[in-house]
Amino acid sequence: MPRRYDKLVELAGEFSNYTAKYLQQIGAAFDELNTRLEQAGLRDEVHLWQPAWNLEREMDIVSHVAPEGAERVRFLGCYYGLQYLRMNIQAIEALRAGVVPGASREEVYREFLTSLGSSYTQLVVTFMRKVLDILLAGAELPPFVICGVGTMTDQDDVDIAVVVEEESGREPLNSVLSKLSSIMLRYATRFHFYLSERVSPESFATSLEEYRTYAETYPGDYIIISELLNAEPLFGDRALFERLQREITERYYVDSDADPVYHEGFVRGALGDVVALATRDFDADRIVPKEEALRIIKALVQIKRSLHGLREPNIWHNLQRLADIEPWNAEKNDLLERGLVFFEVLRYLYQLLVVQDEVVILDTPVMTENLSRVAAAMGYRRRGAVGSEDSLLVHYYDSVDRVRAVARDLAREVEENLRTGSVFLNLASAEPRPPGELLKQTLRLIRFLARVAFWDDVFELLLASDKELLRALVADFNSLPPAKRERRVNELVGLVKRNAELFIKLLVLLGENREDVDAHELFEALARAFLREFGTFYNPAREGAHLFAVQPTLVHRYLAEIDYDAAKEFMDLTSREVTIPSLQPAAASLRELCRLRYYGSAYLRRYLGTTLQKYADCLYLLDDMEGLAEKAQGILAESALVPTPAAKKELLGDYYDLELLRIGLMTLRGATIEETNAAYTEFSDDYLNYLFDACREELAEEYGRWVTSFDVMALYAAGGHAREWAFNDDYDLLVLIDSDDEKLQELGGAVISAMSAEISKRGMMPHFRLIEHFGSYVIPVRQLEEFFRRGEATDFIEKSQLLESRLVIGTSTFEEEAYERIIKPFVFDRAEDYIADMKTEMASRQRAVGEVFLPNNVKECVGGLRDIVMTMLICKARFGIRDPVTSHILEGIGRVYPQAGLELRSLYNSMCFLKNLRDVYRLAVCLDDNLDFEHADVVGEILGFDGAAAGEQGRQVREAFDRTTAKVAAEIESILAKVT
Amino acid sequence: MAFYYQIRLSGGAEIDLHLASKILAEALAVYEDKNVVQHISYGPAARSAASRTDLVVSDQEIYRPKAREVDLLVALTQEAADRYAGEVSPQGYLLLDEEAVPQAPEGKFRAYRLPFVAAARELGDARLASIVVLGAVTALSPAHNRRAVEDALLARVAPGTEAHHREAFEQGFKKMNELL
């Protein structure tokens, strides 16, 4: 081997491992080829180490100096390898020389792509032709044409379609193509027969009839259609290629004479892809230029070709044409062209220098080093602490964002086009039809276009003019006899396997509008049929995960519409293992969502619904409590940054809903009662504080002054919130003001009124204690003193409310003042009276509970939570404890009165059980304190009770509840006997 | 002019009118974006035969949270009817339980008698009387939208009991409409 070969090896050493195959072929044949050329006196005619002057002629010489067929291919392969490596080495050198500081990188990239693309295409096509000349010698074959159907500059593979007139007699051709494919793989670049794989899987060559059948069966298969639109003849019968264009491809252009449904199917398919790709999240550990940008740009250009009748396949050429055809989009199309340049260069260099893969992994040091080589070749330099690969990535994300933004704009324009020119518009026409005909026509159209991804405008059409079309379709269905209804349902359910997303969209549309359009029967029938069909997938969990990954909100809406049993069935179907790693996170989130649908009460699901309406990405975080917490903190932080109080209040509401959801999930996953209560109280107090500020700010704008001050006003949590208990259905609040200034009282009242309006939107009614006596939200301390001085018989209720209250907004000075003027003189200093009243009340209440038979009311029953709270209040008054009536107060009482220590500890444990039971019941069954044990199996399961038979876990919950309340009653009796 | 409407549900503790009140409040605040203030009886008052729960509803912020001139009063006991009838506005409505309130109080309001408890008993559970009341109030109250109340109701009840509650609601709604 000459020294030049060593130099070639050295220079190609920076290329990916893929290029080793070329070096191997060169090493295996070079000496022999060189000798043969010298022997034939043709060495000077062939450029082995320089660019060919005339590829066609030089390959002919190389081919002919070989003694026979196999040798000729080997020599051609060697020559191809030499030219291929030389071409890439020179291209890279030229690129490096061009991207010097000060030069326009974009211009250099453009020149690089143009020059390299042309050289590469010529090289690969000439090689293929010469090999075919060898393979076809003496063969009798039907007319055929080989077309390039992809981007010819892609060096990882060459997308090829082979067309024959008819199926019969193509076997010899298949044999030739099979050999050609092997040779291309071994010596040059792999062939990819994507079209034939889809259209005629048994054959490399596809007949015109097979293309026709496929086009009529799958009008929305935009990938296939796109390849057809890109087809360019490389070898063979040009007349056959023209027939392919005339008979198959032509129908996809808007200006053709074909049925417009083909053009529309293609546009819908491509548009669906653009919209999906342009809104997809980035993965943190990788970039994928093909998925994140190139496919978007190429699909948009293909749509425009179809819309403007641009038959020329070259994408660069079409982008130039668009500049003339769509002057209003000049800037956007220019951005697409620049994006195309950048992403193609990046992809090309990554595949050449690192690995022939579409995915650029970012999370390992080796891959970072590899990417830095790509960046350097593209002209990025290290700047201080910022590596070249970092600069490249910044540019990458920035470019992707810009391309996506433009894509969304252009997609909207295409959508508008569909809205005014869709074949579906005919359905909405008022033309009279026989019964059942409208439904039949619609189903035919939907089935025909089933595989297309974009349906938004069709769904808008169904709902337009007060749901006129949807109503008419459902009425048509309802008017059919039962057998025909069943037939229509069966026809529609065939969609599940072809486009499950579309089927679920239809199902959700019907479910959400079933009341208005009388679609109960149709919805139920389709919902049942869907689960039957879905269950026949090889792995329904995988299908579910895939669906969830692309349409999480849709899956959530579906689960919200179906009944409990259907939710259980869907949950079981999607609970199987999913082995595809990329789908596993979606599978896990889907399982969590299903669990929430099945185990979660309507109370909890309402917060899920309101959260997802605005923050659909939370669906991916349902099994990630830290992620949800971070998201909530982000919303809270954002609330501080938005300019208007109204926007602040809205974000605070979002924060509340998301936090409640998170803590609900935590509880259902087995968080302890202490964890639940602490997390709940923390966010709930934050919410109140921030809300108070937002409302104050709003009123300051309205009144032109700061309406109240912490120094004279304080807001206390009462009831469950004061006790730091989670999941209350009301928000007990107490607002005190230490001022007789009526204006100040009025303004304070206005702040609280505004807060009240916001809190109630969260589904919790604020209850302002003592309103009955004072008539306003804000109670002046002086009036409260007067009220207690009067000594009304039932004022122990108001005293209890004050005694259990916990300061949430206000100063410690105010709290101290309120203690000195209210709590101390009217409660602690008169503890005996208060305790006597409370004991009487307890007895009276327990009697009443017996009378109205509330034995299963976890709050009100004998030994229930109310008794525990009253006991805590009695002890607090008895010992003058100033701590709030949270769970910890029992420890405090135990410290000052150790004689009741055992009972207090046991009471604490019982309280934890009852409170946890109440929380789980609220989150899993319903927001009611009257426990219905018939529906408590799910509660038992969450609380860890065993039992497979229906009702068994509920029975155990009941037994535990009865045991605990009886124990509590005894403990309270003992504690009160000792303490009082 | 601002919309302002005041509702009071009253009766004995054996019927959970507090639940009906919560649902009515929730339907307004969550599903209708109206402002509502709720007030309930506490302690011994909550167990009396004149236990009450008040709702003040407005499309603007509510600065006077205490119900004064009630537009719609439901009374399920004679004691509640007698005690609160005087607080019903002259154009207001008084809905009385047919069995439990034999003596309709006199006043300028319009009074209707409905079989709240009897209808619930027919459905097999006297406690559903609060849901029958809910249906009747929804039919009569200009503040409430049936769909919103039904949504709020279904969000409150245990799975598997929806049909039962819907039926009770429907009974109240229908019976009220028959009288109007």
Does residue B20 register a pLDDT over 80? yes
Is the predicted pLDDT of residue A431 greater than 80, yes or no? Answer: no
Q: Is the pLDDT of residue A193 over 90?
A: no
**Do B53 and B38 form a contact (C-beta atoms < 8 A)?**
yes
Predicted-complex ipTM score: 0.81
Contacts of A794 in chain B (CB under 8 A): 43-45
- Judge whether residue A57 has pLDDT over 60: yes
Instruction: Place A243 in a pLDDT band, splitting at 50, 70 and 90.
Output: very high
Fold of the CATH domain A141-252? Beta Polymerase; domain 2 (3.30.460)
- CB-nearest to B61 from A603, A754, A930 is A754
> So what's the pLDDT on residue A472?
93
% chain A with pLDDT above 70: 98
Q: How far apart are CA A725 and CA A244, in angstroms?
A: 73
pLDDT of residue A852: 65
Q: Do A261-418 and A831-980 fold alike per CATH?
A: yes
Question: Is pLDDT at A707 greater than 70 in this prediction?
Answer: no
* pLDDT above 90 for A395: yes
Residue B64 to residue A564, Cβ atoms within 8 A: no
Give the gap in angstroms from C-alpha B119 to the nearest C-alpha of chain A. 19
Output the DSSP codes for B39-98: EE--HHHHHSTTEEEEEEEESS--S--S--SEEEEEESSHHHHHHHGGGEEEEEEEEEET
At A785-826, the pLDDT tens digits run 999 999 888 889 899 999 999 999 999 999 999 999 999 999
Residues of A in contact with B48 (CB under 8 A): none
Using CB atoms, pick whichever of B14, B63, B154 lies closest to residue A852: B14
Task: Decide the pairing of beta strands A730-737 and A778-780.
Answer: parallel
**Shortest CB distance from B155 goes to which of A606, A841, A853?**
A606
* pLDDT greater than 90 at residue A394: yes
d(CA A159, CA A194): 7
Alpha carbons A490 and A494: distance in angstroms, whole number? 7
Hey, how many other C-beta atoms are within 10 angstroms of the C-beta on A641? 9
The answer on pLDDT for A88 being more than 90 is: yes
Helix (H) or strand (E) holding A909: helix A901-924
Residue-level pLDDT at A124: 93
Question: What letters, b where the CB count within 10 A reaches 16 and e where it falls short, cover A202-214?
Answer: ebbbbbbebbeeb
Q: Is residue B160 within 8 angstroms of chain A, CB to CB?
A: yes
The CATH number for B4-114+141-159, chosen from 3.40.920.10, 3.30.70.270, 3.30.470.10, 3.40.30.10, is 3.40.920.10
Q: Which residues contact A46 (CB under 8 A, 6 or more apart)?
A: A37, A52, A58, A61, A62, A79
Other beta carbons within 10 Å of B2: 9
CB-based contact A602 B156, cutoff 8 Å:
yes
- Judging by beta carbons within 10 Å of its beta carbon (0-12, 13-18, 19+), is residue A441 exposed, middle or buried? middle
Interchain CB distance below 8 Å, A932 and B158: yes
Give Cα separations from A874 to A734, A840, A975, B108 (angstroms). Answer: 20, 12, 10, 47
Q: Greater confidence, A729 or A337?
A: A337
User: Which pLDDT tens digit goes with each residue over A584-596?
Assistant: 989 999 998 998 8
How far are the Cα atoms of A565, A861, A922, B159 from residue A935, in angstroms, in the given order?
14, 19, 12, 8
Question: In the prediction, which pLDDT does A784 show?
Answer: 93
Residue of A nearest to B39 (CA): A767
Residue identified by tokens 């027939």 is A243
CATH class of A700-826: alpha beta
The pLDDT of residue A564 is: 83
pLDDT band for position A883 (50/70/90)?
A: confident
Q: Do B159 and A925 touch (CB under 8 A)?
A: yes
Compute the average pLDDT of residues A726-748: 89
Cα–Cα distance, A323 to B87 (Å, whole number): 76
Report chain A residues whose CB lies below 8 A from the CB of B39.
767-768, 771-772
pLDDT at A444 over 90: no
Count the neighbouring beta carbons within 10 Å of the beta carbon of residue A776.
22
**Angstrom distance (rounded) from CA A413 to CA A407:** 10
Residue A746 three-state SS: helix
Instruction: Report whether pLDDT(A863) > 90.
Output: yes
- What's the mean per-residue pLDDT of chain A? 90
A781 vs B127, more confident: A781
Give the pLDDT score at B160.
Answer: 78
Among the residue ranges A100-104, A173-177, A784-788, the one predicted with the least confidence is A100-104
In chain A, where are the structural domains located? Answer: 1-138, 141-252, 261-418, 425-622, 700-826, 831-980
Q: Across the interface, which of A761, A928, A932 has its CB nearest the CB of B29?
A: A761
Closest CA of chain A from B168, distance in Å: 18
Distance from first CA to last CA of chain A, Å, rounded? 107
Place of tokens 């302690």: B43
A854, pLDDT greater than 80:
no
Yes or no, beta carbons of A768 and B160 under 8 Å apart = no
SS3 B154: helix
Phi/psi for A960 (5° steps) reads -65, -40
Which whole number is the average pLDDT over B41-62? 83
Say how far residue A608 (Cα) sits from the centre of its chain.
Answer: 15
Q: Are A79 and A46 in contact (CB under 8 A)?
A: yes
- B156 close to B148: Cβ distance less than 8 angstroms: no
A866 pLDDT above the threshold of 90: yes
Q: CB-CB: which of B30, B43, B64 is closest to A763? A: B30
**Lowest pLDDT segment from A284-288, A674-678, B156-160:** B156-160
Q: Give how far Cα A106 sits from Cα of A294, A379, A566, A710, Å.
A: 16, 10, 56, 61
pLDDT-above-90 percentage for chain A: 58
In the block, residue with structure tokens 């409040």: B25
pLDDT digits (tens, 9 = 90+) for B113-124: 999 999 999 998
Residues of chain A in contact with residue B157, where contact means CB-CB under 8 angstroms, are 602, 926, 928
- Closest to A856 (Cα-Cα) out of A934, A909, A970, A937: A934
pLDDT computed for residue A337 by the predictor:
96
Q: Cβ separation of A768 and B39 shorter than 8 Å?
A: yes
- The residues near A883 (Cβ < 8 Å, ≥ 6 apart) are A876, A889, A892
Q: Is A848 on the interface with B (CB under 8 A)?
A: yes
**Cβ contact B161–A765 (<8 Å):** no
Tell if the CB–CB gap between B39 and A772 is shorter than 8 Å: yes
Residue among A869, A867, A884, A878 at smallest CA distance from A900: A878
- Nearest-Cα distance to chain A for B40, in Å, is 8
B37 touches B55 (CB < 8 A): yes
Residues in contact with A675: Cβ distance below 8 Å, sequence separation at least 6, in sequence order: A666
CATH of domain A831-980: 1.20.120.330
CATH of range A261-418; options 3.40.50.1970, 1.20.120.330, 1.10.340.70, 1.10.3720.10: 1.20.120.330
Which of A82-91, A117-126, A415-424, B37-46 is predicted least confidently?
Answer: B37-46
Q: How far is B163 from chain A (nearest CA, A)?
A: 12
Q: What is the mean pLDDT of residues A531-553?
A: 92
DSSP 8-state code for residue A18: G
pLDDT reported for residue A232: 92
Say which amino acid occupies A546: H
Q: Are B156 and A765 inside 8 Å of each other by CB?
A: no
Regarding predicted confidence, which is higher, A186 or A648? A648
Q: Is the pLDDT of residue A977 over 70?
A: yes
3-state secondary structure A660-678: HHHHHHHHHCCCCHHHHHH
Cβ distance of A767 and B25 shorter than 8 Å? no
User: What is the per-residue pLDDT for A706?
Assistant: 66
Q: How far apart are CA A859 and CA A857, in angstroms?
A: 5
Compute the Cα dihedral for A601, A607, A612, A617 and give only its sign.
Answer: negative
pLDDT tens for A900-919 read 888 889 999 999 999 999 99
Please judge whether B65 and A515 are an interchain contact, meaning their C-beta atoms are less than 8 angstroms apart.
Answer: no
Lowest-confidence region among A24-33, A616-625, B80-89: A616-625
Give tens-digit pLDDT for A464-507. 989 999 999 999 999 999 999 999 999 999 889 888 999 999 99
pLDDT value for A153: 66
pLDDT for A427: 85
- From B21's Cα to the closest Cα of chain A, the distance in A is 10
Instruction: Tell whether the model's pLDDT for residue A853 goes beyond 60.
Output: no
Chain mean position to CA A133: 52
